[in-house]
Amino acid sequence: MTSTQVIVLVLVVLVVAAVAAALVIAGRRRALRQRFGPEYDRAVAEQSSRSAAERELRDRQRRHAELTLTPLSPEARDRYAAAWEELQVRFVDSPHETVSDAHELVTRLISERGYPTGDFSDQIAHLSVEHARTLGHYRDAHEIHERNARGEASTEDLRQAIVHYRALFADLLGTEPVGSRPAQPGTTPTSHSESADQPSPTESHPTSPPQQRTPHDVPTR
């Protein structure tokens, strides 16, 4: 084999190796996009590079694998669904208190499923692995909850918070499909309002009282 042939062979091997490496990277990237959805783009925007964002997301997967997640029993699911329906009805008379109650109820459900509930960013990171579609809702709900605690949230903001909380709540219960990320709080919902107008988590249970009032029935004060 001549030196020229050796050089050509080495170049071919290097090209094949580069193509194989590119295919592996592309496959991993595609898997992360499919798993994290909108959280993938958010991580890329927040990190210094796409590679750093992907390392962060893989680290989330590793940490998530260390959790001991617990599926809800039918009794627990019914209990949470009934609590949510009662909460929605209370919104008419006590919107400020109801948003606080919704925050506590969702936090309790997150904890019972086996997710950490201490630091909010840590909580988001763990939830993003299996519930990425609803994290935009949850972030908005949390932000309104904090403004509510400072006395800065309007009734329409509070109604939006209930809608946002309901998206993650239903996702964790596994009782209702969720839509795309909603409009910002205080604006008229578009695609999300269409999703949120679907039956509430409790309406899939025959024992639930019919025709219950939902947050969308609440007039803006």
Q: What is the pLDDT of residue 167?
A: 95
Segment 24-34, tens digit of pLDDT: 666 676 877 88
The domains of the chain are located at 3-65, 74-217
Tokens of 159: 């109604």
DSSP 178-198: --S--PPTTS--SHHHHHHTS
Q: What is the average pLDDT across 152-181?
A: 83
Q: How far is CA 153 from CA 87, 96, 97, 100, 186, in A?
A: 18, 9, 12, 12, 9
Question: Side-chain half-sphere of 21: how many Cα atoms within 13 Å?
Answer: 6
CA angle, 144 then 169 then 85, to 5°: 95
User: Which 3-state string (H, E, C) describes 165-182?
Assistant: HHHHHHHHHCCCCCCCCC
Tens digit of each residue's pLDDT (9 = 90 or more) over 80-139: 999 999 999 999 999 999 999 999 999 999 999 999 988 899 999 999 999 999 999 999
At 59-73, the pLDDT tens digits run 999 999 999 998 999
- Whether this model's pTM surpasses 0.85: no
CA distance 165 to 70: 21
CA 180 – CA 137 distance, rounded (Å)? 9
Give the pLDDT confidence of 145-157 residue by residue, as tens digits. Answer: 999 999 999 999 9
